[in-house]
Amino acid sequence: MSWFDEIPSIATDSTLAAMEACKADTHEKKVDLSPGIYHDDNSSTWVLPSVKKAREVLLADKSLNHNLQPQNGHPGLVSVARELTFSDTLDGRSIASMQAISGTGANHLVARFLSDVLQPKTVWFSNPTWENHREIWRHVNPAINQRNYPYYDDRTSTIDSQGMLSTLRGHASRGDVIILQACAHNPTGVDPSRELWEAIAAVCEEKGLFPVFDSAYQGFATGNIDNDAWAIRHFATRSNGTMEFAVAQSFSKNFGLYGERVGALHIVTRSNESAAKAEAKLKKIQRAEITSTPSFGAKIVATIVQNPALREQWQQDLQTMSGRLQDMRKRLYDELTKRNTPGNWSHLLTDIGMFSMTGLSPKRVAVLRNNFHVYLLPTSRLAVPCLTTGNVEYVAESIHQVLTV
């Protein structure tokens, strides 16, 4: 008998399962619309020109080494992570910042930190949300109650703002944690307006909630890093800068550094003493889990942001990516509407970021996969960057057939 015989069966992550199923599919027209990875129009993972140039700069540096980094991470990365997130809005506010293992690691680190320090009874997620949000908090502390606040209205493909605000006002309690996505909401592609962000911030203050921003797509929503950080900066400056919150930041998408696992965590506090205590606790957690963060990807990000020419190229790269996503949304919308495909597809033109919801039932998602070899997540989420000029007509026709035959 094995020590491990009693491990219960565990369901496979739906995104990874869809990717593996598509990989095993030998059909010549198969299309994988499940991964949250930016692809170019040749279905290849794009290496940003700014990243290529930064690598050349680093590799030409004879002093480049592979020493351990400081416990906070690569100093240049931590500095530019703060600047990209907050710009000049902190105005002397006390903050603890750490490099993390991409956005997933940052989300795990803040969940571990808050579970230990705040000991919240409940963590609130948007309905729907990135599926790993729930897994991270369940893994960190299964005793913390997980609840949903209304977010996406399937009937209108818009945000249920009244449902969200009334649920939080009526049921959230002081000390609860609320997970917010800063921009390019995963999986819906629908973000709050600035007026709604102001209302969300007011509810957080009124109820004494601790907000955690997941900032995974800065630059993908509008192509402008400042626009995409507006919500975070609003929280940093409202009420004379007294609001405490956290930001889990990823550089996987906006720099195309998926495999380098570059991220950061920021804890915004009310005093230098509080920030110092938070930093000491974060260091203790990091020491036990990873000791030191990876350096090469961090140095790439720092090199790009600190070099004016490379930063300008990076901003052009963001425009290239966000522009292609907008083009693919328009192409899919045009192909569906010219076929008179049942449903309202106008949200494709206003959704932003990597994802949109197709509204297909799980049964129809399965038919799409089995009969047409087009892979979505069971939730019906479609990854827009996986559309190309070569497959968008086939995808639209396949969706049309599933909805009409």
Number of residues that make up the chain: 405
Please indicate whether residue 130 is annotated as part of the active site. Answer: yes
Catalytic residue chosen out of the listed positions 46, 130, 197, 345: 130
Q: At what angle do helices 230-237 and 75-86 cross, to 10 degrees?
A: 90
Q: What is the pLDDT of residues 194-245, one digit of tens each?
A: 999 999 999 999 999 999 999 999 998 889 999 999 999 999 998 887 899 9
Q: How far apart are CA 95 and CA 103, in angstroms?
A: 18
Taking the CB of residue 394, how many other CB atoms lie within 10 A of it?
Answer: 16
Catalytic residue chosen out of the listed positions 32, 176, 214, 228: 214
Q: What is the pLDDT of residues 364-404, one digit of tens each?
A: 999 999 999 999 988 999 999 999 999 999 999 999 999 99
Q: What is the pLDDT of residues 104-163, one digit of tens each?
A: 999 999 999 999 999 999 999 999 999 999 999 999 999 999 999 999 999 999 999 999
Q: Which amino acid is at 11?
A: A
Residue with token string 């495999």? 259
Catalytic residue chosen out of the listed positions 253, 314, 317, 351: 253
Count of helix runs (H) and strand runs (E) in the chain: 15, 13
Please indicate whether residue 253 is annotated as part of the active site. Answer: yes
Please indicate whether residue 197 is annotated as part of the active site. Answer: no
Q: What is the pLDDT of residues 247-305, one digit of tens each?
A: 999 999 999 999 999 999 999 999 999 999 999 999 999 999 999 999 999 999 999 99
Phi-psi region of 138 (alpha: psi -120 to 50; beta: other; left: phi over 0): alpha
Contact between 300 and 58 (Cβ < 8 Å): yes
Q: Give the torsion sign (CA, 285, 291, 292, 294).
A: negative
* pLDDT number for residue 36: 87
Domains and CATH numbers, the chain: 14-48+320-404 (3.90.1150.10), 68-306 (3.40.640.10)
The pTM assigned to this predicted structure is 0.94
Q: Which of 95, 100, 106, 55 is nearest to 73 (CA)?
A: 100
Taking the CB of residue 88, how many other CB atoms lie within 10 A of it?
Answer: 7
Q: How far apart are CA 402 and CA 405, in angstroms?
A: 6
